[in-house]
Chain A
């Protein structure tokens, strides 16, 4: 009896989400395509595979990394330059194993490290959607990586070390909504690919999941439950932020603006709530509102004068902001990050400065002016 039960469980598990591998083409339908479109948005494929102003999914957006530049490939159904000759199995192998037809290793800039836990039926739906797009003839731009990262076969060994079947949970929970949120965050939204620090081989340091990481000019902030709560985030505020790009705690800017514009705004309310709930956990830590520091520090007085001189014109004398123009600084999450990396930045030039209880300290070299 026990053996029979075990065999049944094994069979059931084998039937769950594994690659079918029978090579049969999937049967497309308007419903499947619509579901695939929703999933493709939740997975933010367009961020890398659609160039700004370019044809949908025809590739071309550049991704700068410490190892060199990579470019989103053409994933329209064009036979010569896109994935028009791929089967559903081929597509699943790319999404699940990071391998494209012919055994070509995909660089992990393609986040198969996260997509790996997508079940086969979801991957098939995305495939059906991509196959429904107009084919675009546009050759994919080859990666421009430094030695030795330009040797693709090395990716095989990288995957042996770092490709995991499922990413660890980023918060505590067990509810069905939390489970859905985990899927939306860990697999589809691939939040960790930007917010989790990376090791020397470019792998996500899973012991420090979502603790924040540098991202070009920006710093992807700490979005662990503790990190978010320390900056006053709540489940409802995160859901609102992901949907609209704006919440009382701040606005989506830089890369995150793109995430909201291409992905978050299209999520339905249940998924938005599930994502937010998972981010903080079934029992969210208590949010910590910003407090005004009453200490009469000379540096604060200087910082306040710099704020009045260079920032208050738009952000308001007391940081109240202006609707539809400038985000409020009072209570703003960005001011409460450990450094001011995201607060004062400029095009290209380095402009690091410190923040102090919501008011910039004196170094405003990043502002245009005679301070440079």
Chain B
């Protein structure tokens, strides 16, 4: 299979350049080349969103991207975050604090088997970051959560607990909502 050199910034660190097959999907690249196994292969056809990572764009905004159906070379020169990149770590690389989204997911026992969780963490984080730029009216919070996370599938815990967790983060973080 034809290869091409690929460099990607993952969780703040530059990975590569290294030779990567031209048609390799990003999820396989994360697992096999970057040794980051947190992103999940669920359906493999871009439906379940367990494989979603975050793209950090040059303008400071962030966006979800499905890695099971997007080629690794699509990410050439781009900066992404995976589920491994959210928690705070000390100099030894040990986790010292989870991100607010991760913490609330735990407190609400949002997920059971955890297979879909990496996608939900990334999806919810993109939502929180968007609300920092564009706060919504308090009355619209539930609608915004639906609109943002409805595409993510979870087959065990149901949708109520993650919903409550994300709502908790949004209402508990100053600046994400406005009156109305």
Determine whether B73 belongs to the interface, using a CB cutoff of 8 Å to chain A. Answer: yes
Please judge, given known A-B contacts A325-B45, A368-B63, A369-B65, whether A305 and B78 are in contact too, CB under 8 Å: no
* A322 interface hit (Cβ, 8 Å): yes
**A-B pairs with CB below 8 Å: how many?**
42
Q: Given A305-B22, A312-B23: A370 and B71 within 8 A (CB)?
A: no
Interchain CB contact (< 8 A) of A308 among B23, B57, B65: B23
Instruction: Return the CB mask of A342-372 against B: 1 if under 8 Å, else 0.
Output: 0000000000000000000000000011100
Per-residue contact bits, chain A 300-339, to B (CB 8 Å; 1 contact, 0 not): 0000010011101110010000100110000000000000
Among B63-93, those with CB < 8 Å from A are: 63, 65, 68-71, 73-74, 78
Are B55 and A369 closer than 8 Å at their CB atoms?
yes
How long is the Cα–Cα vector from A369 to B74 in the complex, in angstroms? 9
CA distance A215 to B74 in the complex (A): 32
Tell me, in angstroms, the Cα distance from A325 to B55 when the chains sit together.
26
Q: A308-B73, A310-B71, A370-B63 are in contact. Are A322 and B45 (CB under 8 A)?
A: yes
Q: Is the CB of B45 within 8 A of A314?
A: yes
Are B45's CB and A370's CB within 8 A? no
Q: Given A310, A317, A322, which contacts B70 in the complex, CB threshold below 8 Å?
A: A310
Contact A312 B71 (CB under 8 A): yes
State which residues 13-62 of B face A: CB under 8 Å.
22-23, 25, 45-46, 55, 57-58
Interface string of B104-117 (1 = CB under 8 A from A): 00000000000000
Which residues in B have their C-beta under 8 angstroms from that of A317?
23
A309–B70 CB distance below 8 A: yes
Q: List 23 A-B contacts (CB under 8 A).
A: A305-B4, A305-B22, A305-B71, A305-B73, A308-B23, A308-B71, A309-B70, A309-B74, A310-B74, A312-B23, A312-B71, A313-B25, A313-B46, A313-B68, A313-B70, A313-B71, A314-B45, A325-B45, A368-B63, A368-B65, A369-B55, A370-B57, A370-B78
